[in-house]
Amino acid sequence: MSNIYGYIRVSTQNQNDDRQRLALLNFGILEKNIFTDKQNGKDFNRPAYKRLMRKLKPDDTLVIKSIDRLGRNYVEILDQWKIISEHKKTAIVVLDMPLLDTRRGKDLVGTFLSDIVLQVLSFVAENERTTIRQRQAEGIAAAKARGVHFGRTPKPLPVNFHEVYQKWKRKKI
């Protein structure tokens, strides 16, 4: 018997996955069959993704909201797509891009079109990751130039710190 699984990824613990979850539930996926990771998409070393991959069997279906939720690394997205669709023989449905639905269009033209769309979207996903990192670095540099300090405010040392430190260093305490 085939199962339908959903995969959700958000980049940080603080990000909300409701939009993706609602789309998967509306597709008819059971909550127990939805796997969620809260970490960036630079690679596929994610705990829920690994559990999902162990679950997938031939004739199952994997549903994701958009290709960038699968990952942000062009080459790895293509590799994972091949592993899922060809090696595991699991169908893949990308809700935001109907051309990326391996349940239909299995003829030569359909396969050709989905391969082209997959490559373009995978490139866009990785490019967006690079752009985000560049914007982040520029924002940090601009903040530092304005005198913004990052991290916690240092706590003042106790008045006898250096004396206690020297004793500790000499193994007296």
Catalytic one of 11, 66, 114, 122: 11
State the angle between helix axes of 74-82 and 108-145 in degrees (0 to 180), rounded to the nearest 10: 150
79: part of which helix (H) or strand (E)? helix 74-82
DSSP result, 116-132: HHHHHHHHHHHHHHHHH
28 Cβ contact partners less than 8 Å away, ≥ 6 residues apart: 4
CA 148/CA 54 separation, integer angstroms:
46
Tell me if residue 13 falls in helix, strand or coil: coil
CA 5/CA 31 separation, integer angstroms:
9
CA 70/CA 92 separation, integer angstroms:
11
159: phi then psi, degrees, rounded to nearest 5: -60, -35
Reply yes or no on whether 85 is catalytic.
no
Find the distance separating the first CA and the last CA of the chain, reported in whole Å.
Answer: 68
Catalytic residue list: 11
